[in-house]
Amino acid sequence: MNRDNKAFTLVEILIVLTLFGLIFGLIAFSFHNMVKNSINLVDLGEDIKSKARLFWDIQRAILSAKDMYIEEDGENSRLYLVTAGGLFEEGVVKAVFFVEEGFLKYEEFPYYYGDIRYTGEGKIYNLARVKEFRVEAYNGRRRLTNFKGIPEFVLIRINGQEFTVIPIK
């Protein structure tokens, strides 16, 4: 046997290939987790963005409300508004936020006159899937039920998250 031939044995080649496989496996696993976390972060960002937009739309409608009626509707509330802060129509509109079939829905149509609770003339939009939509009116620390008018502040709870709006009088 000639000792000048230098070659790798089958065992050495298998050990090197196993090490390469482990290294590339760790790299692939890390890359997969990084992509998965990025997708989760994008989904979380979209969820926060949609909640912020929903809260902003409700706040805008309340801030520019000329009249408001909050009605208890079982586990949820109905919020009727005459507002200049409509989501889709121009000018002063009659609007209502309500829950139906697991969605927070919104209806608006141009306001001419009539009872604030009269609806059925506008297009209904699905704003978000919700389990809870509560609207409470307060004057001082006193909670007002089935309230009509413009209160000192309004507490809104959507799926356990709360925010307060102080209407402009």
Q: What is the pLDDT of residues 45-101, one digit of tens each?
A: 888 888 889 999 999 999 999 999 999 878 899 999 999 988 888 889 999 999 999
Q: Does 161 reside within a domain?
A: yes
Q: Are 143 and 137 in contact (CB under 8 A)?
A: yes
- Residue 125: how many other CB atoms lie within 10 Å: 13
Q: How far apart are CA 78 and CA 80, in angstroms?
A: 6
Name the pLDDT band for 118 (thresholds 50, 70, 90). Answer: confident
Calculate the alpha carbon distances from 15 to 6, 25, 26, 27, 155 in Å: 18, 15, 17, 18, 67
Question: Where in the sequence is the domain holding 105, given as residue range(s)?
Answer: 52-165
| 62 touches 151 (CB < 8 A) | no
Structural domain contains residue 30: no
Listed as own residue / partner, the contacts of 107-115 with beta carbons closer than 8 Å and 24 or more positions apart are 111/82
Per-residue HEC secondary structure of 44-58 comes to: HHHHHHHHHHHHHHH
Q: How far apart are CA 160 and CA 3, in angstroms?
A: 79
Burial 66-93 (b: 16+ CB within 10 A, else e): eebbbbeeeebbbbbbbbbbbeeeeebb
- The pLDDT score that the predictor gives to residue 152 is 92
Domain membership flag for residue 124: yes
Domain count within the chain: 1
Residue 140 lies in a domain: yes
DSSP annotation of 133: E
In this predicted model, what pLDDT tens digit does every residue of 3-15 receive, in sequence order?
Answer: 667 788 889 899 9
Start-end of H helices in the chain:
10-63
Q: Does any domain span residue 143?
A: yes
Asked, for residue 91, whether it belongs to a domain, the answer is: yes
* The amino acid at 53: R
Residue 156 lies in a domain: yes
Please check whether residue 67 lies inside any domain of the structure: yes
- State residue 2's pLDDT score: 58
